[in-house]
Chain A
Amino acid sequence: MRRQVFLGILLAFAVVSVAARAQPVRIPGKGDPALVVEVPRHWELHQEEGHVALHLKGAKVFLQLSMVSGLAVDRTPLPTIASNVFEAAGMPAWSQTLPATIDGRAGQAYVSVRADPGGGIVTMVLTLVKLDPLHVAALIRGTVDSEASAQAGYLDELAGSIRIVGAR
């Protein structure tokens, strides 16, 4: 029974992955505003409720996209949202910030770095863009490698292809 469930999950996951390659991925699936990205074949897609995670095949870089929405967005400063995101990801508070954009819309990027006991270093850059009083677009660039300059180019290329649709 467990094996059947496991195979079912794998199959469902494979269907989602194939479908995502065939057409743009949209976050959220319905409603505006939304984030849209074409997923190249060399990226592996993990799609869950409210966000997508993309891993470069054979590499240690990843990108996550989500839309933070709700009535609380308007009264929540971006740094507070950033704190919550990093805390949920098990990352320390940000060590640097810088101006950044998603699809040309101005926002703020937050850099967090974590050195693991085994010697690995996790680096995450969270870009937040407030789209309206109810929505904040969130984009995470991440790596668990310290030798990833070439892979960083792929990551930046994918991030640069993200489009915001339905925003005022």
Chain B
Amino acid sequence: MRGRSIAAVLMAVLPAVLIAAPPAAEAKILRAPPKGEPAISIDASDDWEPKVEDDNIALTAKAGHAYVHVGTEVNPTIGQMSLSAIAANVFTAADLPPYVLTLPTTIAGYPGAAFLSVVPPTDTTGTVTIVVILAKLDASHLLALIRATSEGITPDQVALVEKLSNTLKVSGFRKR
């Protein structure tokens, strides 16, 4: 996520999850960056419209209601910061409501934490659930998986988000 902070990504979450579904695209394994390591990869099935930019990947569900973004953040202070402090900064910088719940989870096999924020409904949009999952890859690299879902999403569509998340892989890092 070099050159583009997690907060900047979050700012794009709401428009992405609320827009109409884009046209169909072929299924494929996406890698960011395309060459070299460290890298992240994700298996974007035919249910997703993917977009790879630098070393991050964005996916919008063709059926609507879901947006997923995955990337890495490089910062020498990551090792000294708690995940909750990083998450708080991210939500504040993105001008989103602060997270209201957190729980330990895993991401690409790395232990991390999930932070939940809820965007209230407006006259034209329903409630949006945002889950930011963070894990430290090493003292200077952070892995971030951002998932936004809008009101009206079905359990089957939620399952697609989970299935996609489970295909996330990280290469070029040694697990601690």
Residue positions of A touching B, CB distance < 8 A: 61, 79, 83, 93-101, 109, 111, 113-115, 119, 121, 123, 125, 127, 141-143, 145-149, 152-153, 155-156, 159-160
- Beyond A98-B133, A111-B131, A113-B118, is A156–B102 a contact (Cβ under 8 Å)? yes
Please determine whether B129 and A95 come into contact, CB atoms closer than 8 angstroms: yes
Please determine whether A141 and B103 come into contact, CB atoms closer than 8 angstroms: yes
Query: Which of B101, B131, B153, B162 is A152 in contact with, Cβ under 8 Å?
Result: B101
Residue positions of B touching A, CB distance < 8 A: 84, 88, 97-106, 114, 116, 118, 120-121, 127, 129, 131, 133, 147, 149, 151, 153-155, 158-159, 161-162, 165
Please determine whether A141 and B101 come into contact, CB atoms closer than 8 angstroms: yes
Query: Which of B84, B121, B151 is A153 in contact with, Cβ under 8 Å?
Result: B84
Offer 10 A-B interface pairs, CB within 8 angstroms, sorted by A. A95-B149, A95-B158, A98-B165, A99-B106, A121-B127, A123-B118, A125-B116, A147-B100, A148-B98, A149-B88
Q: Which B residues are CB-close (under 8 A) to A97?
A: 158-159, 161-162
Closest residue of chain B to A79, judged by CB? B155
Q: Which A residues are CB-close (under 8 A) to B127?
A: 95, 113-115, 121
Please determine whether B101 and A155 come into contact, CB atoms closer than 8 angstroms: yes
Query: Which of B100, B106, B162 is A145 in contact with, Cβ under 8 Å?
Result: B100
Q: Which A residues are CB-close (under 8 A) to B151?
A: 95, 113
Please determine whether B129 and A152 come into contact, CB atoms closer than 8 angstroms: no
Please determine whether B100 and A146 come into contact, CB atoms closer than 8 angstroms: yes
Query: Which of A93, A101, A149 is B155 in contact with, Cβ under 8 Å?
Result: A93
A95 to B161, CA, bound (A): 10
Q: Which A residues are CB-close (under 8 A) to B106?
A: 99
Q: Which A residues are CB-close (under 8 A) to B105?
A: 98-100, 109
**Residue in A83, A98, A109, A114 whose Cβ sees the most chain B Cβ within 10 Å:** A98
Closest residue of chain A to B99, judged by CB? A149
- Beyond A98-B165, A121-B120, A123-B116, is A152–B158 a contact (Cβ under 8 Å)? no
Instruction: Kindly list the 7 A-B residue pairs having the minimum CB-CB distance in the complex, ordered from nearest.
Output: A95-B129, A149-B98, A148-B100, A95-B149, A143-B100, A115-B127, A97-B162
Closest residue of chain A to B147, judged by CB? A96
- Beyond A94-B155, A141-B103, A152-B102, is A119–B120 a contact (Cβ under 8 Å)? yes
Q: Which B residues are CB-close (under 8 A) to A61?
A: 101
A127 to B101, CA, bound (A): 13
A94 to B116, CA, bound (A): 13
A67 to B19, CA, bound (A): 41
Query: Which of A94, A146, A153 is B118 in contact with, Cβ under 8 Å?
Result: A146
Min distance, Cβ A84 to any Cβ of chain B, angstroms: 13
Closest residue of chain A to B154, judged by CB? A93
Please determine whether B159 and A125 come into contact, CB atoms closer than 8 angstroms: no
Please determine whether A95 and B120 come into contact, CB atoms closer than 8 angstroms: no
Please determine whether B98 and A147 come into contact, CB atoms closer than 8 angstroms: yes
A123 to B115, CA, bound (A): 12
Please determine whether B103 and A100 come into contact, CB atoms closer than 8 angstroms: yes
- Beyond A143-B101, A146-B120, is A96–B129 a contact (Cβ under 8 Å)? yes
A156 to B116, CA, bound (A): 12
